[in-house]
Amino acid sequence: MSKRIAVVGAGVGGLSAAARLAHDGYEVDVWEKLPQCGGRASLLAEKGFRIDMGPSFVLMPGFYKEVFDYCGEEMADYLDLRALETHYRIFYPDGTRLNVYGDPERTKAELERIEPGSARGYDAFIAETARIYRDVEPLLYKCFTLKDLANPALWPLVTKLRVWENVWQLACRYFQDERLRYAFVFEAMFIGVSPFQAPAFYSIITYADQVQKVLHSMGGMYQIPLALERMAAKFGAKFHYGAEVKGLRGDGDGVVLDFGKDQFRADRAVVNADYAHTQGDLLQRRLPHWKHSCSVFLIYWGLKRKVEGLEHHNLFFSGDLPRNMAEIFDRKVIPADPSFYIHVPTVTDPSLAPEGKDILYVLIPVSNLDGSADDIHAHEQRLRQLVVDKVKQVCGVDVNELIEVERTFYPQDFVGRYNVKYGATFGLAHSLLQSAFFRPANLDARIKGLYYTGASTQPGGGLPVVMASSRIVADLINGKG
Ligand SMILES: Cc1cc2nc3c(=O)[nH]c(=O)nc-3n(C[C@H](O)[C@H](O)[C@H](O)COP(=O)(O)OP(=O)(O)OC[C@H]3O[C@@H](n4cnc5c(N)ncnc54)[C@H](O)[C@@H]3O)c2cc1C
């Protein structure tokens, strides 16, 4: 067996691949550009605040558990994942509020308040998305190639997964009130795609957050990469931080990583760095006309005291969602009236801030940098003020007077910090023609021994699915794929 494996990137994809392969007995070296692990799931630690910079929702916990099971470890020895009682609170521009709970009966009571009779629609919606979930879940552990299109066993999926429908159209079949339709489609934005364009099968994310619960990682989301790093190290993986790979090339049966001055040869390389960056910058290949996900503008606040009125997860919808989405995905301008999200992890986990203080993390979806017509910096004060005003409406306080720490993160920072092409926060877009067979495969067609894991490869973005991509890679390397 070829023993030496290089992993490029210590994001969740690279860390979980490293853990699996080290467990399987390979000699694993992880090379990461940043001084620490986590990639897009990074941590901002300042003045006693521990602010997660990226993911905030733990969904589909079975995919997390699978990584630990694979390595013969107990997830509970590494992570303390706790289900939230209130999954999230939605604030509509007309003043309506909707709480989505872990208990579906309580959620249905909320829905009935807005659209009488909608509890029945909710049950039917969940039944349909559960069926889609059952069909899709096993596919998330497989690497497809265009050749699979010729496999008749897969053809029934076209109808089963209703590939001609988008998540918005699916929700419209079950809910009449636009506010409820919005409530059951916004999850498409978790993978950076418009609900008016995301194929209906991505409603599995809505199913997951309704039925499988929304969890929080106690101690913060950064515990997740730390746990994977610890597990990989336990099996002998070695980590090299501050080590940016500048080029990759095949070398007989192996792959060479080029660091500029130094080189490292491995029998296999698993690249977790953004796929478009890898193809364009590391392999010097011409990039096809890919569509990229949206980007986000982030504001992180550490507050001097707690505020009332917000839940752990809070969504604020634009007064005109179709226009908001068109601005981000079609017109590529900074939204006039954006939807946004506020994460207040200190509601569940006060340990993340000094005693009596709060964290507010604000995420505003904006267009990526591929042909963007606007400069975020020209709009950031307006966007910030809009959030300050909404927080004042909801919490009755001027957040400006409470700020102890403030940091911002722009689309350009995704390029500079993580090498993510066009600052597309969630990687390649999850459009129909960039999903499954059409999404980049987890192994290179030209260089033997070169594999890919991460958000822009199969099966796609989001922590659980990225973890599944590392399973695909481990299976391919072990000759089981
Ligand atoms: C703001 C935000 C909110 C999100 N919310 C959620 C959520 O709530 N729930 C959820 O499940 N998912 C969420 N996601 C998505 C999730 O974070 C990503 O899908 C996931 O972290 C991507 O992991 P990855 O391993 O593919 O890539 P990355 O995290 O980007 O890891 C790749 C690593 O490679 C390194 N690298 C790049 N180029 C090189 C090079 N040349 N040499 C060496 N190293 C290199 C990078 O520094 C990085 O550490 C969110 C993402 C963001 C940014």
Helix axis angle for 223-234 and 12-23, nearest 10°, is: 20
Report helix, strand and coil shares of the chain as percent, to nearest 5.
40, 20, 40
d(Cα 333, Cα 56) in Å, to the nearest integer?
26
| Protein residue whose Cα sits closest to atom 17 of ligand 1 | 55
The Å distance, Cα 214 to ligand 1 centre, comes to: 20
* Cβ–ligand 1 contact at 296 (below 6 Å): yes
Q: Could you tell me how far CA 315 lies from the centroid of its own chain?
A: 17
Q: So what's the pLDDT on residue 162?
A: 81
59 CA: nearest ligand 1 atom:
11
Q: Could you tell me how far CA 420 lies from the centroid of its own chain?
A: 13
Q: What is the pLDDT of residues 297-334, one digit of tens each?
A: 999 999 999 999 999 999 999 999 999 999 999 999 99
* Cβ–ligand 1 contact at 463 (below 6 Å): yes
What is the dihedral sign for C-alpha 1, 238, 42, 283?
A: negative
* Cβ–ligand 1 contact at 254 (below 6 Å): no
Q: So what's the pLDDT on residue 1?
A: 56
Which segments of 196-271 are extended strands (E)? 215-217, 238-241, 247-251, 254-258, 263-266, 268-271
Question: Ligand 1 pocket test: which of 366, 463, 465, 471 has the largest number of ligand atoms within 8 Å of its C-beta?
Answer: 463
- Give DSSP secondary structure letters for 28-58: EEEEESSSSSBTTS-EEEETTEEEE-S---B
Quote the tokens at residue 205.
Answer: 């994310």
466 CA: nearest ligand 1 atom:
26
* Cβ–ligand 1 contact at 39 (below 6 Å): yes
Which stretches in the chain have pLDDT values below 50?
A: none
Domain 4-82+219-289+429-477 -> CATH class: alpha beta
Q: So what's the pLDDT on residue 159?
A: 80
* Cβ–ligand 1 contact at 272 (below 6 Å): yes
* Cβ–ligand 1 contact at 276 (below 6 Å): no
| Protein residue whose Cα sits closest to atom 2 of ligand 1 | 54
Work out the burial of residue 212: count CB atoms within 10 Å of its CB; fewer than 13 is exposed, 13-18 middle, 19 or more buried. Answer: middle
* Cβ–ligand 1 contact at 365 (below 6 Å): no
463 CA: nearest ligand 1 atom:
11
Show me where the domains of the chain are located: 4-82+219-289+429-477
296 CA: nearest ligand 1 atom:
1
d(Cα 294, Cα 332) in Å, to the nearest integer?
9
b/e for 250-274, b at 16 or more Cβ within 10 A? Answer: beeebbbbeeeeeebebbbbbbbbb
d(Cα 367, Cα 374) in Å, to the nearest integer?
9
Q: What is the pLDDT of residues 71-86, one digit of tens each?
A: 999 999 999 999 999 9
